[in-house]
């Protein structure tokens, strides 16, 4: 039974769309906005919710560095340092 469900997942994974966060991190912003417009904005790309989500994704991508390569440790270290400084200011 477990093998059967794995086969179903392996066959259906090709039909699952990419997440808007991944699309945005990989330079496909128009597709990310279209996805959010369809599922969160009731067909309107000017929806406040869509704009808020896009801005949050841009900011988290900038802070987390998810669009960077894993071997680019210097960039990741800089982002961690920035996050620590932000936390120190809060507390």
* 34 Cβ contact list (under 8 Å, min separation 6): 45
Q: Is the pTM of this model over 0.75?
A: no
**Would you say residue 84 lies in a domain?**
no
Residue with tokens 């039909």: 15
In a domain, 13, yes or no: yes
Q: What tokens were used for 19?
A: 């997440």
What is d(CA 45, CA 56) in angstroms, rounded to the nearest whole number? Answer: 16
User: How many structural domains comprise the chain?
Assistant: 1
Under the banding of pLDDT at 50, 70 and 90, the label for residue 88 is: low
User: Has residue 56 been placed in a domain?
Assistant: yes
Q: Is 33 within the bounds of a domain?
A: yes
Q: Is residue 29 part of a domain?
A: yes
CA 24 vs. chain centroid, Å, equals 6
Domain that residue 49 falls in:
2-64
pLDDT digits (tens, 9 = 90+) for 3-59: 899 999 899 988 888 888 888 888 888 998 888 888 887 777 778 888 888 888 888
């Amino acid at each position: 039974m477990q093998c059967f469900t794995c086969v179903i997942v392996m066959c259906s994974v090709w039909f699952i769309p990419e997440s808007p966060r991944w699309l945005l991190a990989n330079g496909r912003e128009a597709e990310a906005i279209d996805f959010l417009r369809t599922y969160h904005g009731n067909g309107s790309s000017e929806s406040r919710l869509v704009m808020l989500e896009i801005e949050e994704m841009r900011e988290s991508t900038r802070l987390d560095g998810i669009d960077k390569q894993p071997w680019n440790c210097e960039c990741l270290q800089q982002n961690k340092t920035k996050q620590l400084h932000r936390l120190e200011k809060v507390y």
